[in-house]
Amino acid sequence: MVQCFLRMRRLHIAAIFFAGVLGGTRFGVAWADELKATPEIVISVDDQELQVVKADQIVEKFPISTSKFGVGDDLRSYKTPVGVLEVCAKAGGKLPEGAVIKGGSFTGEVLPPNAPGRDPIVTRMIRLRGKEPQNSHTMARGIFIHGTPEEKAIGKPVSWGCIRMRSKDVVALFNQVQVGTRVVIRSTGHSQQRHGFGAWVARWLS
């Protein structure tokens, strides 16, 4: 009787163990799937393009503008950092397109696209924090993905370090990302040569 009881107890413990293993496996698979479904941002300085990537698939592309001073992370350099970063804060979630944001707050002013003589941050702000030594100053330098009224310049490196987007595009991006979203900014340096040569040709022809 005692041996039978002990045998049944061992079988019961084994059943609990295997159920836990199988349940943990199912949980692990679900967690992995959720991680794969989490979007990340991939920015190409060369192409002046931002991609939203989910499960290794590009789901959206947006034209952008990075720094006119090239890439880097030196303090007061006004350059766009490269490498692996993350979203560390978001602002402007319910504001209208063109809303002027200063110090993270709405000023009450709303600008149309390409408002003459104006170049503030508008619509949405997505603040970035560096995750590597090569971009460790990103947060202290105040580097954002944000809307700009200078939409006609999108597609060219004309910013002061931030990543600029058209208002409708930054709204679409803002709604897909959250604090902690991974951001990768890549550059080979070819874009600066290309845009620089194009600007020289334009000046020569004018």
pLDDT per residue over 88-131, tens digit each?
A: 999 999 999 999 999 999 999 999 999 999 999 999 999 999 99
- Give the mean model confidence (pLDDT) for residues 157-182: 98
- Give the confidence band of 38 by pLDDT, cuts at 50, 70, 90: confident
In three state form, how does the secondary structure of the chain look? CHHHHHHHHHHHHHHHHHHHHHHHHHHHHHHHHHHHHCCEEEEECCCCEEEEEECCEEEEEEECECECCCECCCCCCCCECCEEEEEEEEECCCCCCCEEEECCEEEEEECCCCCCCCCCEEEEEEEEEECCHHHCCHHHHCCEEEECCCHHHCCCCCECCCEEECHHHHHHHHCCCCCCCEEEEECCCHHHHHHHHHHHHHHHHC
Of 164 and 104, which is predicted with more confidence? 164
pLDDT per residue over 67-81, tens digit each?
A: 999 999 999 999 999
Delimit the domains of the chain by residue range.
Answer: 1-37, 38-205
pLDDT given for residue 7 in this prediction: 52
pLDDT given for residue 37 in this prediction: 65
- CATH number attached to the domain at 38-205: 2.40.440.10
Structure tokens at 186: 């890549």
